[in-house]
């Protein structure tokens, strides 16, 4: 048995009767008492994820600049650490990347070590471990554990887990996770990077990238639930003047709920592996970006000692002497035979052979053989509070290839998958979700977590904005069966969850549809 | 290998092939370091022709051909990312056309830039005093200018903009216009980023090709770095060294079948 076991934050009703939460609060308070330039401080750790601190290139004139964050907590903006410390440790978080899961695992481990040292110093348990918030769990677990909303700890001291700028999905301070659209659907994926009939691209863990502080398209675990939960917890202030800390990567790790959310994301990755799914085995992933000359992953351990790690160092919790309380008891996700269901829907001949997903766990592979554009709505689309509408025109020749694929679908000739892309989405409001409909059928919901940073021209993303890809295979199959693809156009409707103000415009550079062939 | 990686490899292979042809062309006609030849007498001594005489004596076609070979050799390896963007965002049947339009816009801007850089080069040489061997100082001055530019926030801005990939229309003339405009726009930022580096090998009297090779490595490496905030710092060279070191390490590991490193956490935190 591992020394450190992460348990459900909703144990003991998610209150301070749960010792994991009580000691977490004590440890957070200890870290918050340290100055910004201390590698062991709460603020330094938040900046490792990302920051908007005055005096750095990421400084913002108003919110979300750290100087404009309303207390509590009272966020310090000085003294800045040495430039070498900032260069080594800060602004590392990996997003829209296949390094998303391993980078955050190492980051959690380091934070946990810091908290544990503080807990031990205060007379707490030596095996304390970070609890996780399983918002996809049964009962009322979709609500934030009550310990995060109380003003004081049982001993009467201020509760460091309470945060002012945390507004929730309705922008009213009620913090919960709406299910759906938040889901654990990614757990049915069978490949980490790539696609097959059980896995839409770019795969469970994300697309292959180099060091990716801000990338382009999120992996399926990152997209939902990760991004969605960030935006739901953060939300917008009732007057719309600011948004919640969790909504933006540059301030998210200041909120103590951040680490419980990421513990749950980490648990889902561990559970996905426990279900028999495998991580990439190539050196590009195992050795991380540093293996090919890129920036290494480095976090400070207690005392400030740097720990440089690679995905290979953290790809199995056993290597780190950690586990979760539910990995052994969680029901193994039975692979739904997605291909069989599709073939039946498309009217393919009855199957007798075994479909790829029925194969033994761990043997699933990326079966994508090629991808091409099917149609677009050319020109930028401005999204207003009332939404936006676009007619996606399908190229006749490519559209015919798509329908041919659906018509001749069989086990030996799998039908194409189809995707809708919102390309070069630009805006400054991360606390926003977009519901996307194709011919009035819900195609999915995307959360704009990271949008502001992706649109900053002289930052890690270069200002191209974010792109979102929705798997619309099921919608297109239905339209094919109904002969609705023959029209040659698709009606795409985009509805924002929150108001879009005139001084914070939201645009989509292009709406497009792609087909992906499979072997 | 994923479908996207395969596409990337095809694009990269095509560009490297084009670059290789450029290098082969330069190697096949080394003294078509015409830019140098026009400024020297047959016996290797420096001549004094005026700029006008130089231009009269130097046929434009070979000058342009030499510049095009330099461009192909040095710049094509830097175009994998924008061409992948064109590849991904175009209909399959339009991809070759979109590539041609992107490259047309890209090359057009660089050819114009070549006129200016060549004029700088020719006028520098025209101003030199006659001597038995060409002086080093023009190349040293160019290297100093390139170093300052390389470290400047302005250079970072150009690099950042080189990473920006606009939305592209897919149908009809709008698609053609966007592919061409993307090539023009990308080239403008590329010229802004590389003009000073390009001048260094042009002004070198000896080791012209070796200097081109080093500059190419720096230009490829600096594009592999993510966009970054604007500030003074040396960029490109460190990445190139790290990349080469990592490659050498991989090669050594494969050769000696060394195990990959692992398990740093326990020793770092719980010793």
Question: ipTM of this complex > 0.85?
Answer: yes
Tens of pLDDT along A294-304? 899 999 999 99
Interface A:B, Cβ pairs < 8 A: 148
Same domain? A379 vs A257: no
Same domain? A296 vs A389: no
To the nearest whole Å, the CA of A319 is away from the closest chain B CA by 7
Q: Residue B3: its chain A contacts at CB < 8 A? A: 194, 366, 368-371, 516
Q: Residue A459: its chain B contacts at CB < 8 A? A: 227-229
Q: Averaged over A322-346, what is the pLDDT?
A: 74
Does any domain span residue A261?
A: yes
Residues of chain B above pLDDT 90, percent: 51
Does any domain span residue A329?
A: no
Q: Evaluate if residue B40 carries a pLDDT over 80.
A: no
**Residues facing A377 on adjacent strands:** A511
Range of the domain at A116: 4-324
Tally of CB atoms within 10 A around B255: 8
B230, B151 in Cβ contact below 8 A? no
Whether the bond into A287 is cis, omega within 30 of 0:
no
Confidence of residue A111 (pLDDT cuts 50, 70, 90): very high
Does any domain span residue A216?
A: yes
Same domain? A318 vs A388: no
Contacts 24+ apart (CB under 8 A), B233-237: B233/B151, B234/B150, B234/B151, B235/B150, B235/B151, B235/B155, B235/B156, B235/B159, B236/B150
Same domain? A309 vs A416: no
Q: Using DSSP bridges, classify how beta strands A4-6 and A322-324 pair: parallel, antiparallel or unpaired.
A: parallel
Q: Residue A96: its chain B contacts at CB < 8 A? A: none
Tens of pLDDT along A176-185? 999 999 999 9
Note whether A208 contacts B2, CB cutoff 8 Å: yes
Tally of CB atoms within 10 A around A315: 22
A70-79, A163-172, A189-198, B256-265: lowest mean pLDDT where?
B256-265
A221-225, A392-396, A414-418, B117-121: lowest mean pLDDT where?
B117-121
Look at residue A426 in the predicted model and tell me its pLDDT.
Answer: 94
Look at residue A361 in the predicted model and tell me its pLDDT.
Answer: 64
Same domain? A208 vs A110: yes
Tens of pLDDT along B251-266? 777 676 655 544 456 5
Highest mean pLDDT out of A271-280, A362-371, B115-124: A271-280
Average of per-residue pLDDT values in chain A: 93
Note whether A423 contacts B263, CB cutoff 8 Å: no
Taking CA–CA distances from B221, the nearest residue in chain A reads: A293
Residues of chain A above pLDDT 90, percent: 84
Look at residue B38 in the predicted model and tell me its pLDDT.
Answer: 46
To the nearest whole Å, the CA of A178 is away from the closest chain B CA by 33
Question: What pTM value is reported for the model?
Answer: 0.91
Tens of pLDDT along A207-243? 998 887 666 789 999 999 999 999 999 999 999 999 9
Confidence of residue B58 (pLDDT cuts 50, 70, 90): low
Q: Evaluate if residue A1 carries a pLDDT over 70.
A: yes
Same domain? A106 vs A135: yes
Same domain? A305 vs A162: yes
Q: Residue B160: its chain A contacts at CB < 8 A? A: 457-458, 462-463
Same domain? A300 vs A441: no
Confidence of residue B83 (pLDDT cuts 50, 70, 90): very high
Partner residue facing A373 (CB), from B91, B156, B262: B91
Partner residue facing B245 (CB), from A56, A283, A293: A293
Q: Using DSSP bridges, classify how beta strands A297-300 and A306-309 pair: parallel, antiparallel or unpaired.
A: antiparallel
Tens of pLDDT along A53-64? 999 989 999 999
Note whether A464 contacts B163, CB cutoff 8 Å: yes
Q: Residue A58: its chain B contacts at CB < 8 A? A: 229
Same domain? A255 vs A390: no
Note whether B224 contacts A210, CB cutoff 8 Å: yes
Partner residue facing A301 (CB), from B2, B263, B269: B269
To the nearest whole Å, the CA of A183 is away from the closest chain B CA by 27
Which of B38 and B1 is assigned the larger pLDDT? B1
Q: Averaged over A373-399, what is the pLDDT?
A: 96
- Structure-token pair, residue B255: 């050769």
Q: Averaged over A335-345, what is the pLDDT?
A: 81
Does any domain span residue A87?
A: yes
Decide which of A281, A296, A324 is a domain's last residue: A324
Tally of CB atoms within 10 A around A370: 15
Look at residue B99 in the predicted model and tell me its pLDDT.
Answer: 97
Helices within chain B (DSSP H only): 3-28, 34-37, 51-57, 60-75, 80-89, 95-127, 137-151, 153-162, 172-202, 208-224, 237-256, 264-270
Does any domain span residue A159?
A: yes
Same domain? A281 vs A356: no
Number of compact structural domains in chain A:
2
Q: Evaluate if residue B49 carries a pLDDT over 60.
A: no
- The CATH number assigned to the domain holding A366 equals 2.60.120
Q: Residue A194: its chain B contacts at CB < 8 A? A: 2-3
Average of per-residue pLDDT values in chain B: 83
Same domain? A230 vs A356: no
Look at residue B172 in the predicted model and tell me its pLDDT.
Answer: 95
Does any domain span residue A333?
A: no
Q: Residue B163: its chain A contacts at CB < 8 A? A: 462, 464
Same domain? A71 vs A110: yes
Decide which of A290, A324, A358 is a domain's last residue: A324
Taking CA–CA distances from B5, the nearest residue in chain A reads: A208
- Taking the C-alpha atoms of residue A245 and residue A224, their distance in angstroms, rounded to an integer, is 19
Which of A515 and B270 is assigned the larger pLDDT? A515
Note whether A319 contacts B263, CB cutoff 8 Å: yes
Tens of pLDDT along B181-206? 999 999 999 999 999 999 999 888 78
Does any domain span residue A332?
A: no
Does any domain span residue A401?
A: yes
Decide which of A264, A298, A324 is a domain's last residue: A324
Note whether B5 contacts A208, CB cutoff 8 Å: yes
Q: Evaluate if residue B23 carries a pLDDT over 80.
A: yes
Q: Evaluate if residue B244 carries a pLDDT over 90.
A: no
Look at residue B43 in the predicted model and tell me its pLDDT.
Answer: 39
Note whether B269 contacts A375, CB cutoff 8 Å: no
Note whether B92 contacts A398, CB cutoff 8 Å: yes
- The CATH number assigned to the domain holding A283 equals 1.10.1280.10
């Amino acid at each position: 048995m591992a020394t450190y076991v992460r348990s459900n934050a909703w144990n003991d009703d998610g209150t301070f009767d749960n010792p994991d939460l009580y000691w977490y609060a004590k440890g957070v308070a200890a870290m918050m008492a340290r100055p910004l330039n201390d590698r062991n401080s709460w603020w330094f750790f938040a900046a490792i994820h990302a920051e908007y601190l005055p005096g750095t290139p990421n400084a913002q004139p108003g919110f979300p600049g750290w100087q404009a964050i309303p207390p509590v907590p009272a966020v310090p903006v000085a003294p800045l650490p040495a430039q070498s410390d900032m260069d080594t440790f800060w602004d590392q978080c990996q997003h829209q990347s296949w390094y998303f899961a391993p980078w955050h695992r190492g980051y959690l481990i380091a934070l946990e070590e810091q908290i544990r040292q503080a807990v031990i110093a205060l007379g707490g348990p030596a095996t304390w471990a970070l609890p996780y918030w399983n918002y996809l769990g049964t009962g009322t677990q979709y609500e934030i554990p009550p310990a995060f909303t109380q003003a004081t700890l049982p001993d009467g001291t201020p509760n460091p887990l309470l945060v002012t700028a945390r507004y929730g999905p309705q922008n009213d301070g009620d913090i919960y996770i709406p299910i759906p659209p938040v889901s654990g659907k990614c757990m049915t994926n069978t490949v980490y990077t790539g696609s097959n009939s059980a896995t839409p691209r770019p795969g469970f863990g994300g697309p292959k990238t180099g060091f990716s502080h801000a990338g382009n398209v999120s992996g399926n675990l990152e997209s939902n639930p990760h991004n969605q939960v960030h935006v739901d917890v953060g939300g917008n202030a009732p007057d719309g003047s600011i948004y919640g800390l969790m909504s933006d990567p540059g301030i998210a790790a200041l909120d103590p709920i951040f680490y419980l959310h990421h513990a749950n994301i980490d648990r889902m990755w561990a559970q996905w592996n426990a279900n028999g799914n495998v991580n990439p085995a190539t050196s590009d992933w195992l050795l991380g970006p540093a293996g090919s000359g890129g920036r290494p992953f480095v976090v400070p351990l207690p005392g400030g000692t740097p720990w440089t790690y690679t995905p290979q160092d953290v790809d199995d919790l056993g290597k780190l002497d950690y586990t979760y309380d539910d990995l052994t008891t969680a029901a193994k996700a039975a692979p739904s035979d997605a291909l069989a269901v599709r073939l039946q829907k498309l009217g393919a001949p009855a199957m007798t052979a075994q479909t790829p997903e029925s194969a033994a766990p761990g043997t699933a592979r990326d079966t994508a053989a090629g991808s091409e554009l099917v149609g677009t709505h050319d020109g930028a689309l401005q999204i207003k509070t009332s939404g936006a509408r676009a007619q996606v025109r399908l190229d006749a020749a490519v559209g015919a290839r798509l329908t041919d694929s659906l018509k001749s679908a069989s086990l030996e000739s799998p039908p194409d998958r189809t995707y809708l892309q919102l390309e070069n989405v630009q805006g400054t409001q991360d606390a926003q979700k977009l519901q996307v409909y194709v011919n009035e059928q819900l195609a999915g919901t995307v959360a704009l977590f990271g949008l502001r940073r992706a649109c900053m021209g002289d930052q890690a993303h270069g200002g191209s904005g974010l792109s979102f890809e929705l798997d619309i295979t099921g919608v297109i199959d239905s339209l094919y069966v109904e002969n609705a693809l023959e029209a040659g156009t698709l009606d795409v409707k985009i509805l924002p969850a929150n108001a879009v103000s005139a001084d914070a415009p939201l645009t989509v550079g292009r709406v497009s549809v792609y087909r992906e062939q499979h072997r | 290998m994923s479908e996207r990686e395969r596409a990337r490899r095809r694009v990269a292979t095509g560009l490297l092939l084009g670059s290789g042809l450029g290098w082969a062309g330069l190697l096949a006609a080394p003294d078509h370091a015409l830019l140098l030849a026009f400024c020297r007498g047959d016996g290797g001594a420096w001549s004094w022709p005026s700029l006008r005489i130089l231009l009269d004596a130097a046929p434009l076609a070979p000058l342009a051909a030499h510049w095009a070979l330099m461009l192909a050799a040095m710049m094509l390896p830097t175009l994998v990312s924008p061409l992948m963007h064109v590849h991904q965002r175009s209909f399959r049947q339009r991809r070759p056309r979109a590539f041609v339009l992107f490259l047309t816009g890209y090359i057009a801007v660089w050819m114009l830039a070549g006129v200016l850089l060549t004029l700088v080069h020719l006028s520098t040489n025209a101003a030199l005093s006659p001597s038995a061997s060409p002086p080093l100082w023009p190349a040293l001055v160019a290297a100093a200018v390139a170093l300052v530019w390389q470290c400047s926030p302005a250079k970072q801005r150009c690099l950042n903009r080189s990473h920006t990939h606009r939305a592209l229309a897919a149908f009809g003339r709008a698609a053609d216009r966007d592919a061409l405009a993307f090539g023009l726009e990308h080239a403008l930022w590329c010229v802004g980023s590389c003009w000073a580096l390009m001048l260094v090998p042009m002004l070198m009297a000896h080791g012209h090709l070796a200097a081109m090779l080093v500059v190419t490595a720096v230009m490829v490496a600096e594009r592999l770095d993510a966009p970054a905030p604007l500030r003074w710092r040396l960029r490109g060279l460190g990445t190139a060294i790290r990349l080469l070191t990592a490659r050498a390490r991989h090669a050594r590991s494969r050769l000696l079948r060394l195990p990959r490193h692992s398990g740093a956490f326990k020793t770092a935190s719980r010793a």
